[in-house]
């Protein structure tokens, strides 16, 4: 059983409970560790990210919890960074300012070429995905998906972070409608990103949220990608991307089973600044 979760959101970003409620739930679940990973501050107003004016309070509250629960559970202060070329701040600037223990790098907002508009590929509304695909890419799904993966690649090449968050989130609202993940062009894009993940020694997140929110019928990333991850010996980490305390361990057992079936024998755990292996069998 996985007894830690390094990806979750509290009311400091778009989570639905105070940070301490997650700690209490984690203790109930007998977790040994947990990381707060609010959505990183962005240079424009959003409904989901940590507000720049709340960053000090985030540091204070996470420091207080680390202190208060010392000896019972290891708590980390981190961020799930959004990378938007030419718009988001360098991950490093916030890492230093907030003394983060680690960072997740994710793409939720795709910036179409030569445009200041952003295509939101996450959230519950499928219409937004469809509208953006039409408006920014003239319904050219290959062009849109390529732009997404190029943005991921640019993030990997230019930013400092440890964990790749939900690598294939782009498939969620596609839901088999515009392309199939078996198509050669798609597999090539994923493989190119995986090469970079390996080169930079990053950890691949296996994220259960799409599945338990019933927005995706598979884990992020899909089985085919996980098989490749195994072959390439890229380390993996299971997380639930919780936005509620009850979601802290959701479908983690399922993810563990999938990994074992695929032949991945261990996940990694973050301890004192480095990664150690946790066997799955
Ligand atoms: Zn995310
Ligand atoms: Zn998240």
Centre of ligand 1 to C-alpha 106, Å, is 6
Query: CB–CB of 165/80 below 8 Å?
Result: yes
Considering Cα of 128, then 180, then 223, then 197, what sign does the dihedral take? negative
Centre of ligand 1 to C-alpha 15, Å, is 12
Per-residue pLDDT tens for 57-111?
A: 999 999 999 999 999 999 999 999 999 999 999 999 999 999 999 999 999 999 9
Centre of ligand 2 to C-alpha 6, Å, is 10
Centre of ligand 2 to C-alpha 106, Å, is 8
Centre of ligand 2 to C-alpha 160, Å, is 18
Biggest CA pair distance of the chain: 55
Centre of ligand 1 to C-alpha 260, Å, is 24
Centre of ligand 2 to C-alpha 14, Å, is 9
Per-residue pLDDT tens for 155-211?
A: 999 999 999 999 999 999 999 999 999 999 999 999 999 999 999 999 999 999 999
Q: Which ligand is nearest to the CA of 78?
A: 2
Q: Is the CATH number 3.40.50.150 carried by domain 4-279? A: no
Query: How far out from the chain centre does Cα 3 lie?
Result: 18
What integer is the mean pLDDT of 132-147? 97
Query: In Å, how far are 114, 203, 221 from 161, measured between CA atoms?
Result: 26, 9, 18
Centre of ligand 2 to C-alpha 80, Å, is 6
Spatial separation of the C-alpha atoms in residues 24 and 11, rounded to whole Å: 15
Spatial separation of the C-alpha atoms in residues 126 and 78, rounded to whole Å: 29
């Amino acid at each position: 059983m996985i007894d830690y979760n390094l990806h979750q959101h509290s009311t400091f970003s778009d989570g639905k409970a105070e940070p301490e409620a997650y700690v209490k739930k984690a203790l109930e679940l007998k977790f040994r560790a947990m990381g707060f990973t609010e959505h990183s501050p962005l240079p424009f107003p959003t409904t989901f990210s940590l507000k720049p004016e709340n960053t000090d309070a985030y540091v204070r509250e996470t420091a207080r919890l680390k202190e208060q629960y010392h000896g019972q559970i290891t708590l980390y202060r981190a961020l799930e960074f959004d990378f938007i070329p030419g718009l988001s701040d360098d991950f490093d600037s916030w890492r230093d300012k907030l003394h983060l223990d680690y960072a997740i790098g994710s793409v939720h907002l795709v910036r179409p070429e030569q445009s200041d508009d952003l295509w939101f590929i996450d959230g519950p509304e499928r219409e937004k995905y469809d509208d953006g695909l039409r408006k920014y890419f003239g319904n050219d799904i290959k062009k849109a998906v390529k732009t997404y993966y190029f943005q991921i690649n640019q993030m990997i090449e230019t930013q400092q972070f440890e964990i790749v968050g939900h690598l294939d989130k782009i498939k969620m609202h596609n839901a088999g409608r515009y392309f199939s993940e078996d198509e050669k062009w798609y597999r090539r894009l994923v493989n190119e990103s995986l090469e970079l993940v390996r080169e930079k020694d990053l950890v691949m997140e296996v994220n259960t949220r799409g599945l338990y929110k019933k927005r995706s019928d598979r884990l992020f990333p899909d089985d085919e990608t996980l098989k490749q991850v195994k072959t390439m010996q890229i380390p993996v980490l299971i997380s639930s991307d919780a936005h509620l305390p009850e979601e802290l361990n959701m479908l983690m057992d399922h993810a563990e089973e999938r990994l074992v079936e695929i032949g991945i024998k261990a996940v990694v755990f973050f301890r004192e600044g480095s990664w150690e292996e946790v066997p799955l069998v």
